[in-house]
Amino acid sequence: MAKPDAPAIRIRRYEAGRWSDSPDAVVTEEPLQLLLDGEPLSVVMRTPGQDVELALGLFYAEGIIRALSDVASVRISAEAGESEPGVVLDASIMESNHLDVRLAHAARRKPERSMLASAACGVCGAVMIEDLRRDLSVLDSRGKVDPAMLPALVERMRSGQGVFERTGGLHAAGLFDVGGELICMREDVGRHNAVDKVAGRMLLDGRLPMREAILVVSGRAGYEIVQKSITAGIPVVAAVGAPSSLAVALAREFHQTLVGFLRGTRFNVYSAPERLAG
């Protein structure tokens, strides 16, 4: 069985000059060892749950797979309790927090970039975009979006964040159609993990690329969010927080509409504003 997503612990609370003992809920964070064809590939710190979605979304973003048919099987520990149509789950002899993706013969065998890059990696932005240019395609201009609709999407996403309401410790990614209807929402301790889980869900459902969709993310919009969403074909990304300079450069390079500071009734548009009608 999957572990609780917000286990309760006892804490000491200080308020108005008084101490008290009380229960508190904290978000679960554990390492997930990803294997590719039985060989260790990467360790991801994540909130357990939807691990198959997370792995497949990450592998899709990194260009290791381009379709579900590239996956021969997925092996995951039995305690995860995950089962997906179209993916063979082999729960035998797998260790806890391990997931092994076995590729079909025609699939790529290694990622073309390091999967460990982060905001602290020190890679030059120009070099990073040149590297990404080999794999990404410029997004088309279909799917106009009413700008007045965007602020409401944050509240729609937040209303589905059950674990966040109890812990305050999770990021969320919500995928909406251009009419504002929620397609998929995922939470995770890592904002990029939440996006990978959404993309993995869409891959499993046979719905990638999502050429007429809006991705709303809590927190800031770093280059990882933009890169993953462009790979998934998503034309509009809206973040509650600020974008980074590399995220803006990447969105402009590939004609993605990037919205930041989506709060209340206001927001900033950093690229491709023509998609926002009105």
> According to the 3-state scheme, what is the secondary structure of the chain?
CCCCCCCEEEEEEEECCEEEEEEEECCCCEEEEEEECCEEEEEEEECCCCHHHHHHHHHHHCCCCCCHHHEEEEEECHHHCCCCCCCCECCCCCCCCEEEEEECCCCCCCCCCCCCCCCCCCCCHHHHHHHHHCCCCCCCCCCCECHHHHHHHHHHHHCCCHHHHHHCCCEEEEEEECCCCEEEEEEECCHHHHHHHHHHHHHHCCCCCCCCEEEEECCCECHHHHHHHHHCCCCEEEECCCECHHHHHHHHHCCCEEEEEEECCEEEEEECHHHECC
- Residue 167 has a pLDDT of 39
Could you tell me the pLDDT band of residue 4, with boundaries at 50, 70 and 90?
A: very low
Annotated catalytic residue, options 1, 93, 106, 121: 121
- Residue 81 has a pLDDT of 66
* Most confidently modeled range among 108-122, 141-155, 254-268: 254-268
Q: What is the pLDDT of residues 108-121, one digit of tens each?
A: 666 655 554 443 34
121 is catalytic: yes
Write down the mean pLDDT value for the chain: 83
The reported pTM is 0.85
Instruction: Choose the weakest-confidence range: 36-45, 74-83, 213-222.
Output: 74-83
Domains, the chain, in order of start with CATH, read 125-275 (3.40.140.10)
